[in-house]
Amino acid sequence: MSFCCGASMVGTKGTLRHLRTQIHNVPILFCPVCHRIEVHHLVEDEYEILAEYAHGDGASEVDFDEYSDTQSRDYLFENCVSHENEDPLELVTNQIDMALDLLRVAKQLDDIEWENQLKNRLRVMSSRRDKLRRKKMMGGYRQQNG
């Protein structure tokens, strides 16, 4: 499990750009708070090699799945707390619950800096939760099942 700025990162596959090449279906982790994206550590070396070769060949697009065995790697996202195919509102609510648990620990340790970081993340996630609730009430997003 990877963490970023007080939130656990969400596991999914996505498209990344390396110089002029788009690489599709890359296993990634992204932060639902600050939107930082990183290549999953178990495929990072493969990604870098493919990105360099694709750029060297002048390819504008490549599919990571065609050059890697990630389709048979079901274990890649096993340790992720959240996955992209979850209900967005539930995902954010779970992130808030985890941040509140961490905030309790930070207070017990009298770690003011950590407390402030977590409070900031809670403000961001609460705002996102409120937006998702409004969207849901308006019928603006649909839950994905996968």
Domains of the chain: which residue ranges? 3-83, 88-138
Whether the model clears a pTM of 0.85, i.e. scores above it, the answer is: no
Q: What percentage of the chain reaches a pLDDT higher than 90? A: 23
pLDDT recorded at residue 7: 65
Give domain 3-83's CATH number out of 3.10.20, 2.30.30, 3.90.550, 1.10.3470: 3.10.20
What CA–CA distance (Å, rounded) separates 77 from 15?
17
Q: Partners of 119 in the beta sheet? A: none
What CA–CA distance (Å, rounded) separates 76 from 40?
8
Q: Is a pLDDT exceeding 90 seen at residue 85?
A: no
Q: Are 28 and 10 a contacting pair, CB within 8 Å? A: no
Write the single-letter amino acid at 113: E
Beta strands in 9-114 (DSSP E): 10-18, 21-30, 37-39, 61-63, 82-83
What CA–CA distance (Å, rounded) separates 83 from 105?
25
